[in-house]
Amino acid sequence: MRECASCGRNLPQSSYTANQYSRGVGVSRCVGCVHELHADVPSASEHDSGRYNYSGRASTKTHDLDHPFAEGAFRWVAKGTYTTGSRSGQPCVVKWFKTGAVFEADYFTLDIKAVDKALEIINRFNGSNIVNKTVKVNVPEVWVSKDSPKREGQHALCEPFIQNYQKFNSNSGWVDDSIAWGEVMQALSHFSYHMSGGQYVLCDLQGGVYQHEIVLADPVILSRNREYGVTDLGPDGINSFFSQHNCNNYCRSTWAKPSRTAPIFPPVAGTTMVIREVPTRQSRPNFTHQYD
């Protein structure tokens, strides 16, 4: 571990380029600081990679509530329709936690926190002009049911619907590299590690490819400090992810990688979760929108 001369963080050798690390203690600057100071990629504020609801209300059919079109370990996903705003008439998805999910409010918070970090990373990736299409990510909001007897008073995440949904990589290192976009998403995951000085990996990338953009949803952040909930596999997850990663034409040879990797988690297409206790928060998100 070595303290970065710019940000003061105590970081592993993999967070430094070979050139910076060779400069010695008290002088070396981590990859994140080097890129901030030398503007190798634009700052996050220069681009908007978010895809937003632009609505304050949506409606879901009773049948859709009883028979969601997708299901995960903790959540159901139903399809709805926006009824207000510029997206009125367009489809959306509403995601509920299953009855009995522990610390539900914290999972909402962590989902949104992961998207915020993903936006920061993707803004920079778009600015680097690695591909000729824009990468975007759905930005969910916490809504509350007001009019549906089936879900009265329940909280859910609402976000725009994605056509032609497919998965490109997972948080354990699995990747569909049979298509070009699988390679692009692997490069995005590698880029996230590089630009964060080895602190984060954006992965579990899935969504739909459109004419001028690709839209992602439900991204996972792997972090050194396990800041992002049950899908954040921490340092073991980062090492496991890179044990399966082979650089492709979209990666740059100057991008940093962990010095040691190991397949700690088996590479599977599904999202790998590590169940840990999540501290109870004193406050909940602001529930300002509603759906039927």
CATH number at residue 76: 3.30.200
Token representation of residue 233 = 């596999």
Q: Find out whether 135 and 122 touch, Cβ atoms under 8 Å.
A: yes
Token representation of residue 242 = 């890179």
For residue 77, give its domain range: 51-111+137-163+281-291
Does some domain include residue 220?
A: no
**Same domain, residue pair 156 and 66:** yes
Mean pLDDT of 187-202: 95
Does some domain include residue 231?
A: no
**Same domain, residue pair 3 and 23:** yes
**Same domain, residue pair 3 and 143:** no
**Same domain, residue pair 91 and 6:** no
**Same domain, residue pair 154 and 287:** yes
**Same domain, residue pair 104 and 159:** yes
Residues in the chain: 292
**Same domain, residue pair 150 and 286:** yes
Q: Find out whether 143 and 177 touch, Cβ atoms under 8 Å.
A: no
Query: Which pLDDT does position 134 carry in this prediction?
Result: 93
**What does the alpha-carbon distance between residue 194 and residue 175 come to, in Å, rounded to a whole number?**
19
**What does the alpha-carbon distance between residue 52 and residue 41 come to, in Å, rounded to a whole number?**
24
Mean model confidence pLDDT for the chain: 81
Query: Which pLDDT does position 291 carry in this prediction?
Result: 39
**What does the alpha-carbon distance between residue 140 and residue 149 come to, in Å, rounded to a whole number?**
23
Q: Find out whether 134 and 49 touch, Cβ atoms under 8 Å.
A: yes
For the cut 60, the answer to whether the pLDDT of residue 35 exceeds it is: no
Highest mean pLDDT: which of 41-55, 65-79, 85-99, 100-114? 85-99
Mean pLDDT of 197-214: 94
The backbone region for 164, taken as left when phi is positive above 0, alpha when psi lies in -120 to 50, beta otherwise, is: left
Q: CA torsion sign, 264 to 268 to 272 to 274?
A: negative
Does some domain include residue 152?
A: yes
Contacts 24+ apart (CB under 8 A), 40-48: 41/124, 41/125, 41/127, 41/128, 41/195, 42/123, 42/124, 42/127, 42/128, 43/124, 44/119, 44/120, 44/123, 44/124, 45/123, 46/123, 46/127, 47/123, 47/124, 47/126, 47/127, 48/123
Does some domain include residue 24?
A: yes
**Same domain, residue pair 93 and 69:** yes
Query: Which pLDDT does position 36 carry in this prediction?
Result: 45
Does some domain include residue 264?
A: no
Does some domain include residue 66?
A: yes
**Same domain, residue pair 70 and 15:** no
For the cut 80, the answer to whether the pLDDT of residue 93 exceeds it is: yes
**What does the alpha-carbon distance between residue 201 and residue 222 come to, in Å, rounded to a whole number?**
5
Q: Are strands 91-97 and 75-82 parallel, antiparallel or unpaired?
A: antiparallel
Does some domain include residue 103?
A: yes
Does some domain include residue 76?
A: yes
**Same domain, residue pair 32 and 70:** no
Mean pLDDT of 73-77: 73
Domain count for the chain: 2
**Same domain, residue pair 158 and 61:** yes
**Same domain, residue pair 8 and 144:** no
